[in-house]
């Protein structure tokens, strides 16, 4: 069953929220460890999207778009409230 982009988008945002929580819990990690963590979460986001949408191109694009939106939202939040 192919799920719509809306459901996949919600799954992706939950995943990126988990990434943010893990990043917050590992403040003392090096930059390389954080980059590896980002790659692992991006691959997991891609796998979730591919499993739901069944197309590689759409899965990659929605994973990339949700990553960009989440990181931009995080920066706006930090700018306004911290």
DSSP 8-state class, residue 29:
S
d(CA 27, CA 51): 32
Given a cut of 60, whether residue 11 has pLDDT beyond it is: yes
Confidence of residue 27 (pLDDT cuts 50, 70, 90): confident
d(CA 51, CA 24): 28
Q: In a 10 Å sphere around its CB, with 0-12 CB exposed, 13-18 middle and 19+ buried, how is residue 34 labelled? A: middle
Q: What phi and psi, each to the nearest 5 degrees, are found at residue 18?
A: -65, -40
Identify whether the C-beta of residue 9 lies closer than 8 Å to the C-beta of residue 53.
Answer: no
pTM: 0.89
Q: Determine the structural domain holding residue 58 and report its residue range.
A: 5-81
How many domains does the chain fold into? 1
What is the per-residue pLDDT across 31-82, written as a single tens digit (0 to 9) for each? Answer: 999 999 999 999 999 999 999 989 999 999 999 999 999 999 999 999 999 8
């Amino acid at each position: 069953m192919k799920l719509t982009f809306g459901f996949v988008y919600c799954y992706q945002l939950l995943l990126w929220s988990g990434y943010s929580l893990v990043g917050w819990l590992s403040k003392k990690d090096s930059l390389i460890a954080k980059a590896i963590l980002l790659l692992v979460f991006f691959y997991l986001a891609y796998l979730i999207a591919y499993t739901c949408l069944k197309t590689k191109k759409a899965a990659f694009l929605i994973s990339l778009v949700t990553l960009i939106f989440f990181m931009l939202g995080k920066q706006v939040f930090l700018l306004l409230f911290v």
